[in-house]
Amino acid sequence: MLKRLLALGAAAAGALVSACGDGPATVSGTWRSPATWGTMVYASGDGPLLVEVHGDPFGRGADFRFQVAAAMDNQIIGRKLAITADRALAPHPDARIVVAFDPPPGFDPRHLCEGRVPTRATVGDRLTVLAAFCQGSETLSSVDGWVAGAAGPDDRRFRQLMGQVARALFGDPQ
């Protein structure tokens, strides 16, 4: 119980500090399936976990999805978790992360797993992201986040945002 209270306090403090600047900041969805951690472990046990990337806020073309995968790679503390944007390399592509950049306000993350992905041009200097961890069309967890002023996918703050997204999707195994 104490561990959970400390984790909640740390998360709240992190959110307050993040709110004061240009981010990055993330907020986990309101519900996480108890199967989230186990599904991630199973799907990544034989090779990398698939990430599907929708949107290209920096205009980088096909390489952008691989840059997102690299930024999310090995972000879980205490667990080696390889991420790939190449479906052919993922041994269990039905279990995947779906990422949408700059979705419309109020877009439901469950739609990402159902294949209904919004398309919208990047608006302003603030980059937003919505991500879901999916098993087929079922949403196991979700997170949304933002960062302002990121210059591109190699920008440290963009990479921090994507690392936060990966950690928030899977949470603590307990």
What is the domain extent for residue 67?
A: 22-170
Considering the domain boundaries, does residue 14 fall inside one? no
Considering the domain boundaries, does residue 17 fall inside one? no
Residue 56 to residue 42: CA distance in whole angstroms: 29
Residue 114 to residue 132: CA distance in whole angstroms: 11
The pLDDT of residue 71 is 97
**With contact defined as beta carbons under 8 Å apart, do 113 and 132 qualify?**
yes
Decide if pLDDT at 3 tops 70.
no
Decide if pLDDT at 166 tops 90.
yes
Considering the domain boundaries, does residue 123 fall inside one? yes
Cβ atoms within 10 Å of 103's Cβ, excluding its own: 22
What are the pLDDT digits (tens) for 10-25? 444 444 444 447 889 9
What are the pLDDT digits (tens) for 38-85? 999 999 999 999 999 999 999 888 899 999 999 999 999 888 999 999
Count how many domains the chain has: 1
What is 66-124 written as a DSSP string?
HHHHHHHTT-STTS---EES-GGG-S-TTEEEEEEESPPTT--THHHHTT--------T
Region 145-168: what's the mean pLDDT?
95
